[in-house]
Amino acid sequence: MIKKQTSLLSTSILGLALFSANTFAADCSSTPVNPNGNASKLQDALQQATNTGLPIRITGTYYISNDIKVYLKKDLVVDATGAKFIATTNLDGDLFSIDAHATKSNECGSSNTLADFNWKGGDFNIANAKVSTVVPYPYKTPEGKTGTQSTADALSVRGGINSHNTNKLGEAVIENITVTGTKNNTDTCFEAGGDSGILLTGGTKVTVKNNSFYGIRDAAVYLTASGDNGQYGDHFTFSNNYVERACYALTSKRGADNLKFLNNTINNVLGGIGVPNTFTGRTATNVVVRGNKISKTIRGISMYRVNNATIENNEITELGAITNGLTKAIGAYGNVYEGILLAGTQGTNTLSNNTIKGVTGSREGATETYGVTYREHDGRSTTGVSISNHSYSKLNKWVKDFQ
């Protein structure tokens, strides 16, 4: 009898252990479970959520030394409000990688379907992470800080599948997260760990709203079209985000169309709001930049090979101020500060009710500042621009045509 009871007890304990393990092991049907601060269970918990399409709540504090890599299958809905994700000095790569995959993204009955992505809340700290190998101005990275990987973002969502020239990502919303890339609130972007705050490729509609970024080595938010001609990734909206001490604040690249930058606050960055085409021939069409406040920047708003831009009701102040410790402007156009740059911009482009102010004091005479500039870019001149009701002060020239 004693032996029988012992055997039953052992079997029960084993069953509980297996149940516990299966709770966190990713399959196609189990309900995802909050890992409650256990970093070793975080990856499986997120994978379980996208395997099933069921939402997951994440709480607790996580110290992360290896990339939390998840393959996108069905919808991934995450509420991480109050959770903390902290990179250790061993992290060499992304904090989170949410990736589409040519075969894995078809598992669990998810083939031929788009997956929506919704991430809400959480504090991401990548100050101690290794810096990626592709950050801007790598010579400014402190010695010993550079890692081996070409990506080291806090939250990376790659919806495009480059090997098959397809896209898995449907609609995406990222909101109410905080990303910190520096150890001190006086550190410049060059002293930050990691790479970008948010990186996202592809998607049918993407909204990034109500987020905060402090000390980011590359872009606070980096959205980009994917596909061989940039055909995946449109309808990107950046709204009500706060950015300080980033190398670049908010950017959309590689020809994504239908972009909106609304009511963001940006301070102490090399570039504020930017739409670079990156690849020759890529063109972004229909861009709205409205109600943003940008201070202490080299280039406040930059449009490269854009068709049809509406830029209105923005405030750009302290143009020419010391930015991330730089006493001189850097970039492709040399020691020049530009409030709004239009480079190869064509179609119908309306600039109205924008305020652009330079600096006062000793730097006023030591800096070359322009309100609006026109430049050629990628074989195109800038045409079709109308400007009305602008307010300028403390600038070398209000409008400058460099073509």
pLDDT bucket at 294, cuts 50 / 70 / 90: very high
Structural domain contains residue 12: no
pLDDT tens track for 166-196: 999 999 999 999 999 999 999 999 999 999 9
Q: Which of 346, 230, 227 is nearest to 286 (CA)?
A: 346
Structural domain contains residue 8: no
Q: How far apart are CA 212 and CA 242, in angstroms?
A: 5
pLDDT bucket at 8, cuts 50 / 70 / 90: very low
The whole-chain average pLDDT of the chain stands at: 93
**What pLDDT, on the 0 to 100 scale, is given for residue 12?**
39
Query: Are residue 345 and residue 245 in the same domain, yes or no?
Result: no
Query: Are residue 248 and residue 284 in the same domain, yes or no?
Result: no
Structural domain contains residue 371: yes
**What pLDDT, on the 0 to 100 scale, is given for residue 106?**
96
Structural domain contains residue 252: yes
Q: How far apart are CA 119 and CA 172, in angstroms?
A: 8
The domain total for the chain is 2
Q: Which domain holds residue 225?
A: 29-256
16 pLDDT more than 60: no
3-state secondary structure at position 4: helix
Structural domain contains residue 3: no
Query: Are residue 101 and residue 191 in the same domain, yes or no?
Result: yes
Pairwise pLDDT comparison (19 vs 89), residue with the higher score = 89
**What pLDDT, on the 0 to 100 scale, is given for residue 53?**
98
Query: Are residue 221 and residue 154 in the same domain, yes or no?
Result: yes
Q: How far apart are CA 387 and CA 354, in angstroms?
A: 9
Q: Last residue of a domain, which of 221, 256, 291? A: 256
CATH value at residue 142: 2.160.20
Q: Last residue of a domain, which of 199, 221, 256? A: 256
Q: Last residue of a domain, which of 201, 221, 256? A: 256
| Amino acid letter, residue 98 | I
Structural domain contains residue 386: yes
Q: What is the dihedral of CA 157, 235, 172, 129, to 10 degrees?
A: 30
Structural domain contains residue 216: yes
Asked whether 376 and 335 are in contact (CB, 8 A), the reply is no
Cα 68 from chain centre? 17
Query: Are residue 285 and residue 243 in the same domain, yes or no?
Result: no
Angle between helices 42-52 and 2-24 (to 10 degrees): 70
Query: Are residue 239 and residue 328 in the same domain, yes or no?
Result: no
Structural domain contains residue 130: yes
Lookup: tokens for 74 = 């069905």
Query: Are residue 171 and residue 232 in the same domain, yes or no?
Result: yes
Query: Are residue 224 and residue 283 in the same domain, yes or no?
Result: no
**What pLDDT, on the 0 to 100 scale, is given for residue 332?**
87
Query: Are residue 170 and residue 250 in the same domain, yes or no?
Result: yes
Q: How far apart are CA 282 and CA 179, in angstroms?
A: 30
Lookup: tokens for 339 = 């409030």
Query: Are residue 221 and residue 282 in the same domain, yes or no?
Result: no
Query: Are residue 63 and residue 121 in the same domain, yes or no?
Result: yes
Query: Are residue 126 and residue 222 in the same domain, yes or no?
Result: yes
Q: Which residues pair with 120 in a beta bridge?
A: 79, 175
